[in-house]
Chain A
Amino acid sequence: MGRKIAKPPKLNLIPILDAIFIFIFFLLMSAQFLDIFEIGSDAPISASSETHPEKDPLNLTLELSGDTITVKTGINGDIKKKIQYKEISQLNDLLIDIKKDYPKESSVILKPNSGFKYHKIVKVIDHAREIRKPGLVVPSIDDKGRKTASTKLFDQIIFETQE
């Protein structure tokens, strides 16, 4: 009758609490609440080459002015298509087709006019760098000349100025 019920042993949580506190301070100090990423672009360098490529260079150029994106290819800058900025997804589709014909090419020249807004340029870059449709890949050739399948389109961005 008088027997006491044995209390369950209590866990000593103090060391784990200490560890969690230290961890939280470390994470708070290193936390960045804005997810920031980078888009790389190199300044153009002029170079002369004596080698003759097997195929005509693609020389893919996107002229950005007002609400229009003009896609040009070739040395003479032949107009491939004009796309309205509102229908920018068409740009991605067109670049997928071009990439299939030129798997070695990875650079695109951007020629925005002086008033073209930065956020629009970033959006164009997004559509030029990667395939936006999930699950779709294109043939690509890596630095070592191996054939691969990739979601990358033209990820080397070069800026040029409109005259």
Chain B
Amino acid sequence: MRRMFFKGKREKKEPMEIDITSLLDILVILLVFLLKSYNASDLKLDLVKNLSVPDSKARKLGSHAIIIQVDKNSNIWIGKDMIAQIPTSGAEIPKLLELLKSKKEQDRAPAAKKSKSVNLVFDKDTPYKSLQKVMHTSAIAGFTEFKFIVQGNY
């Protein structure tokens, strides 16, 4: 009897509610931050170690192409692979030339539509003679449109 009496009187427990207002605040801030840093460019760049890109006032967004990176120690990188070091003598870099030529051959587009662009990412202290060798080698391999990748400086 007693048991039944209590059972009748007991109120139904409401499900526990979590206050998500603060979580929403954080998410909105995060959203604004991410929207501000959103970049419409299709160029995705993973910088190698020991490479700092120079600042520039340039405002043109980069586009997808082969990326050649040259770090502080004059090592040449394509993607994540170090392929060679800039030689002290000679006008061109044989290993880079070979690789670029093979990339050109792999491009299945018709000859007239084959990409001629190459993204060049140099460390800011790279001397011009190194730039020149990389540009010369790229031009021989058929990549005659150089895109120097720089960091935005507002």
Contact = CB atoms under 8 A, between A and B. Distances in A.
Question: DSSP majority for the B interface?
Answer: mixed
Residue among A119, A121, A161 with max Cβ neighbours from chain B (10 Å): A119
A30 B38 contact: yes
Given A33-B37, A40-B147, A43-B144, A126 B56 contact: yes
Interface string A96-120: 0000000000000000111111110
A38 B127 contact: no
A129 B149 CA distance: 16
A112 B152 contact: no
Contacts of B145: 40, 42-43
- Chain B interface size, as a band, is 35 or more
B33 to A, nearest CB: 9
A38 B62 contact: yes
Interface in A34-64: 34-43, 45, 64
A157 B89 CA distance: 26
A123 B145 CA distance: 20
Interface of B: 17, 20, 23-24, 27-28, 30-31, 34-35, 37-39, 41, 43-45, 47, 53-63, 119, 122-129, 131-132, 135, 138-139, 144-152
Given A27-B34, A34-B53, A114-B128, 7 more contacts: A31-B39, A32-B37, A36-B45, A38-B148, A114-B127, A115-B127, A129-B58
